[in-house]
A and B are shown apart, each in its own frame.
Chain A
Amino acid sequence: MIQPELEILAIAIVVAVACALPGVFLVLRSMALMSDAISHSILLGIVLGFLFVGDIGSPLLILAAAATGVVTVVLVELLNQTRLVKEDAAIGLVFPVLFSIGVILIARFAGNVHLDTDAVLLGELVFAPFERFELAGADLGPRVLWVMLVILALNAAFLGIFFKELKLTTFDAGLAAALGFSPALVHYLFMSLVSITAVGAFDAVGSILVVAMMIGPPATAYLLTDRLSTMIALSAVVGVVGAAAGYLLSSTLDASIAGSMAVAIGLCFAGAFAFAPERGMVAVRRRRERQRWEFAETMLAIHLFNHESLPEHQEESRVQHLHEHLRWEESFAQRVVDRALDHGVVVRANHDRLELTSAGRHTARRAISSL
């Protein structure tokens, strides 16, 4: 692999991990769409920063953009507090305004510089290696890579230091407040970090891939585990896999890198959706099927048990009769009987009559007493 390609892949992987870490808590706190809102509204911050500083490469731009991200969060919350609109509508009202102002400012004042809405929304990872980070004349690699490494370190440090607080405020904000933590403080610190991450990543990969990388891997991990620490680790892994697979896809199809990575992450999620060991669709289907047969078998046992040693016993224990009494299709009844025979719940007494075994009697008794 040639140098620039390797660099692009490295950038994508660092971005993926840096996004997945805060993404876990966005998903758990049901604030996933704040990433969408922030990644759009930071356009305004970048434009404003550019208009004041006049230099597209200035680090002040990142700060200005991150500040706009926090402003978005604050505005959404203010709007929520008025209780005049629902929370989802508040998000949907705030970010288009900031984005629109940004687009208009670009059109009016910054039309002739390298700052177009296309690049912002879609991202151009291909160009990322062109901007180098040089120190004392030595080329240390792409600038974006370094920026994202710093952001990744920030995220990891924040997670390490505030893990307990984040966990508590996410799962039980009331208890956290009662114990003396300030959910609001943790919240704003966290959202600032999300903004910074979105800004750094969006410079490299575009706002849509930011959303895909913040939400996709954590949501995938959420289907695979119940432990927070495992979920964080899995999210990072899924992000890296998505980035690498997406990169392969894009070079095969000669198509947008950001788009391919979003698709690859989507495939990861679809895979988990279908095949996750406990929560996947296949596992759930299979479990339901098994429960259906087990339930039918227990019903059969209870039915026989109820009529045992009663006068109608002869009639009720006939296989043909199940169809009538339990309202089962005949083929279904036949299969239940076969299974019950296999499992030793019942035995055949002459012709078509069924007799409970002692194990079957036990099953029925336990099922009835648990009602």
Chain B
Amino acid sequence: MDLAGLFGDYTLRVVALGSAILGAASGALGSLAVLRKQSLLGDAISHAALPGIVLAFLLTGSKATLVLVLGAAVAGWLGTLAVIAIVRNTRVKEDSGLGIVLSVFFGLGLVLLTYVQTLPDASQAGLDRFLFGQAATMLMQDVTVIAALGSVAVVLMLLGWKEIKLLAFDRTFGASMGINMGRVDVLLTSIIVLAIVIGLQTVGVVLMSAMVVAPGAAARQWTDRMERMVAIAAFFGAVAGLSGAVLSSTVQRLPTGPTIVLCLSAIVLVSLLFAPNRGIVWNLVRTHKQRRQLRADAVLADLYSLAGQHLDTSHGHSIGALEAMRMGQGSARRSLSALRERGWARETRPGEWTLTPSGMEEARRRFDAGASPDEHEAQEKR
């Protein structure tokens, strides 16, 4: 299928649009969770939403996206409250609290789901798409719901931006300014719950947590500013949603949800490796450079101290001597050519090196400030 034909396909256009909006919304809002070290809250909330979805269906008999999403939101919210109650009131730590809420709520959802399936009415079919997500069946009305709820969450985030920032970085300071930080916490949690439940039917319970964590974790590598991080995370989420949807529709038997997650993971990997300043590759390069610099400095110091033992400063010193002084700490040869490049050392004859006058000057400036008295004597003799 060529590119024009690809985007002429109405179904694909809907799915791609929905996935992109979803990626952007969950990326932007999820980065707040990442900053607050609540990455796994997403995992818990998405599992905890299941009983809400089934109950919403049981109570209303409707399978409209909005109804189910609201049910999911209420259950996700209750799950979050349960985690908070456990952590605040007992010595059970957050990870165990999350694990319990996640598995017990999900278990309750399963019980309800299997109960619904025993009902004579066959209209419940399709509820389990929330488990694994079925992006391919996304309709325009689903996209509308995703876009509407996503914008509500984003607008809420922008309205409370300053307070959310305080919550993420300095809660105590916020409280001392007279802001009700508990209320901001509730606001932020609600936003995150909203971000998660709108994605459930697209990517499913298990993979939704990746949609929340990955864009934020990737964006964090590219910037130290929160505004930019949220924007970049939204961008990454949109790119992954779009490319995942397109990929899975062009390649046969490639489920959409997992494909989106793999696209996201590729973005995370690239960010971890290559992001400027923080990236692993740059870090290695930087460490390597520093190490070489240190070695060159050490050889400079050695040449200088050797020069101090000879009246004739142009006397060459053999590489062997320099290597011996380095005691196996890397080759002196490379450091010497680095010094020559800067014009601080020259080769008097093959294999013998000495400092140039400017190298002498440099070494004196660097090493003589705290030099020991007998070295001063040596200089005076000269």
A interface residues with partner B (beta carbon < 8 Å): 27, 30-33, 35-36, 40, 79, 82, 84-86, 88-89, 91-93, 96-97, 99-101, 103-104, 107-108, 111, 117-118, 121-122, 208-209, 211-212, 214-216, 218-219, 222-223, 249-250, 253-256, 258-263, 265-266, 269, 273, 279, 281, 284
Contacts and interface: CB of A to CB of B under 8 A. Distances in A.
Given A93-B210, A104-B259, A255-B115, 7 more contacts: A89-B37, A101-B258, A218-B96, A222-B91, A223-B91, A223-B92, A284-B89
B308 interface: no
Q: Which of B103, B109, B214 has the most CB of A within 10 A?
A: B103
Contacts of B221: 84
Interface SS majority for chain B: helix
A104 B254 contact: yes
A104 B254 CA distance: 6
Contacts, number: 210
B98 interface: yes
Contacts of A30: 93, 95-96
Given A36-B43, A89-B213, A265-B104, A256 B114 contact: yes
Interface in B228-279: 253-255, 257-259, 261-262, 265, 268, 272, 278
A36 B110 contact: no
B89 A273 contact: yes
Contact of B262 (A79, A104, A209, A256): A104
Given A96-B206, A215-B99, A219-B100, A104 B39 contact: no
A256 B39 contact: no
9 contacts: A92-B209, A97-B261, A121-B131, A212-B104, A215-B96, A216-B99, A254-B118, A260-B107, A262-B110
A86 B118 contact: no
Interface in B83-103: 86, 89-93, 95-100, 102-103
B207 A100 contact: yes
Nearest to B105: A266
Interface in B169-221: 206-207, 209-210, 212-214, 216-217, 220-221
Contacts of A256: 107, 110-111, 113-114
A33 B265 contact: no
A214 B102 CA distance: 12
A40 B204 CA distance: 14
B108 interface: yes
Interface string B293-305: 0000000000000
A80 to B, nearest CB: 12
Contacts of B132: 103, 117-118, 121
Q: Which of B39, B111, B113 has the most CB of A within 10 A?
A: B111
Interface of B: 34, 37-40, 42-43, 47, 86, 89-93, 95-100, 102-115, 118, 128, 131-132, 206-207, 209-210, 212-214, 216-217, 220-221, 253-255, 257-259, 261-262, 265, 268, 272, 278, 280
Contact of A84 (B98, B108, B213, B272): B272
Given A84-B221, A86-B37, A108-B253, A33 B111 contact: no
B115 A254 contact: yes
B246 to A, nearest CB: 16
- Closest 6 A/B residue pairs (Cβ): A262-B107, A259-B110, A266-B104, A96-B210, A100-B258, A212-B103
Nearest to A213: B103
A89 B257 CA distance: 20
A208 B207 contact: no
Q: Which of A91, A92, A101, A214 has the most CB of B within 10 A?
A: A92
Given A92-B40, A262-B104, A222 B210 contact: no
Contacts of B103: 36, 208-209, 211-212, 215-216, 262, 265-266
A104 B255 contact: yes
Contact of B261 (A96, A118, A279): A96
